[in-house]
Amino acid sequence: MVTLVTLAVAVAARPEPAWALMTEANVCPSWRRLIRLATGVFALKNASQFFAIMEAAPELATGLAEVAGADEDGAELGLELAPELELLPLLEQAAMPAASAHTSRICWTTLRAIIQPFSNFSPPPATQRTPVHDTGVRQAVASQLGAVIQSWPLRSWLASSAEDDVGERPAAAVPGRVRTAISAGEETQTDASDRARPAPPPAPPVTGGEPDARYTFANERTFLAWMRTALGLVAAGLAIVQLLPPFHGIRWGRHAIGVPLIVLGGVVAVVSYLEWSANQRALRQGDPPRRSWLPHVLAATIALVALVAAVMALISG
Amino acid sequence: MSQAQRSRSHDPGLARARTSLAWTRTALAFAGIGAVILRRDLTAGLVVLALSVLVWSVGRLAGGTGPVRGRPVRLLVITVAVTGVSLVALGLAMFGPQTAWIRP
């Protein structure tokens, strides 16, 4: 019985026209707003509000003036309030660093955390990264608010703002050393980085341009050392073939030792030039140098030649 | 700026000086192998000795005060020279006076 009554009331209470109106209002509010704008309803509303404010403003001003003038203590109160009102926009909360400063710091620390395992590239120190206007605002706040803000430890404020950065970043993506350094404040972060990486070697430029002259010269010296090695191999092979007394019973003995050394000298010359070119390109682009397979070839060939020489020396006796 | 500071900024880590010495060693290596070849073949030996002079002059240019420029050409010259020397030595080894095993 109760169920039947409830159903009947529910059927009767289902307001089809109201449901349709709500749907229409929800589906196309902008269309209705456009219609109001086209028919001038908004203009009328704004104009009426503007005139109402204009009418009310002089009354409010005169009312405030009457209140201030009626009471002598009120005038003193107004004078006392005036400096605070001037100081109000320069409060510390109003002068918090902009979002760009946080973003740049996050970018540098994240970049450092990503790059550090792979290279010696180090971003500029944190003191140079602080935006100029940010520092100016902080100094202005400290000077305007006088002894109150100057007795405040500015360092703790920096630390608290840096801790907000830690909260915004996923903790697993940052090494522990950098994370603790950030939570200890910006100055401490720089100190910790310098302490953990003592005397960082000068890094080559990352992209484009000519690399540091020292790296270019070092690469060239490596190439020249390979050239001397090649020349030494050629000289040794030629001396073995031309100057060494022949092995007894083995007519091709000297050539079996000397010719591989001469061929290896030529191969070393060509490959070392290719490696110098590749290393110079890697320096220019900031990539790590390629792993050279030339030492392996050199060691294997010399070991093989030595083995053959030993065997022939034993055979020829 | 004092003389020491100027030289330090011009030659950080004495990289230019060390590179110049490396060029000198390479030229000496050329001269040494040229002397070895000269004992067997006069023409080839003279060519390699001339190459050693070329390497020495190129090294003087590389260690100068000029900018770091034009090195690929110089190093390519050295590469071609060393490869040529190795080919000459290979020819001497295969067809030189001591190759009775090929020309009985």
Q: Percent of chain A having pLDDT more than 70?
A: 39
**Same-domain status, A120 and A182:** yes
**Same-domain status, A189 and A220:** no
Which of A196, A227, A250 finishes a domain?
A196
In a domain, A127, yes or no: yes
Number of domains present in the structure of chain A: 3
Quick check: A234 and B100 CB within 8 A? no
Q: Determine the residue among A212, A240, A262, A264 to mutate to test chain B binding: the one whose Cβ has the most chain B Cβ atoms within 10 Å.
A: A262
Q: Determine the residue among B16, B18, B79 to mutate to test chain A binding: the one whose Cβ has the most chain A Cβ atoms within 10 Å.
A: B79
Complex ipTM:
0.78
What residues does A247 pair with on adjacent strands?
A250
Nearest residue to A241 via CA among B12, B60, B99: B99
Residue B58, min C-alpha distance to chain A (Å): 12
If you count them, how many residues does chain B have?
A: 104
Which of A165, A196, A227 finishes a domain?
A196
pLDDT in tens, A247-277: 888 888 888 999 999 999 999 999 999 999 9
pLDDT in tens, B49-95: 988 898 888 877 765 545 555 567 788 888 888 898 888 888 888 88
* One-letter identity of residue A20: A
**Same-domain status, A110 and A189:** yes
In a domain, A177, yes or no: yes
In a domain, A2, yes or no: no
Q: Is the pLDDT of residue A16 over 50?
A: yes
Residues in chain B within 8 Å Cβ distance of A266: 82-83, 86-87, 90
The CA distances from residue A200 to A105, A116, A120, A219, B35, in Å, are 21, 11, 7, 20, 46
Quick check: B75 and A238 CB within 8 A? no
Residues in chain A within 8 Å Cβ distance of B92: 238, 241-242
Structural domain spans, chain B: 3-95
Q: Is the pLDDT of residue A52 over 70?
A: yes
Quick check: A218 and B93 CB within 8 A? no
Quick check: B92 and A241 CB within 8 A? yes
In a domain, A1, yes or no: no
- pLDDT bin (cut points 50, 70, 90) of residue A165 is very low
Q: For residue B28, what is the DSSP state?
A: H
Quick check: B83 and A266 CB within 8 A? yes
Q: Which member of A231, A242, A276 has the closest CB to residue B96?
A: A242
Q: What residues make up the domain containing A254?
A: 213-316
**Same-domain status, A218 and A178:** no
**Which residue has tokens 């209705």?**
A32
Which of A163, A196, A229 finishes a domain?
A196
Residues in chain A within 8 Å Cβ distance of B101: 251-252, 255
Residues in chain B within 8 Å Cβ distance of A265: 82, 85-86, 89
Quick check: B86 and A262 CB within 8 A? yes
Residue A97, min C-alpha distance to chain B (Å): 39
pLDDT in tens, A283-309: 888 888 888 889 999 999 999 999 999
Q: Would you say the pTM of this structure is higher than 0.80?
A: no
Least confident of A4-13, A36-45, A159-168: A159-168
A216, closest residue in chain B (CA to CA): B68
Q: Percent of chain A having pLDDT more than 90?
A: 16
Find out whether B55 and B24 touch, Cβ atoms under 8 Å: no
A303: buried, middle or exposed (CB in 10 Å: 19+, 13-18, 0-12)?
Answer: exposed
In a domain, A206, yes or no: no
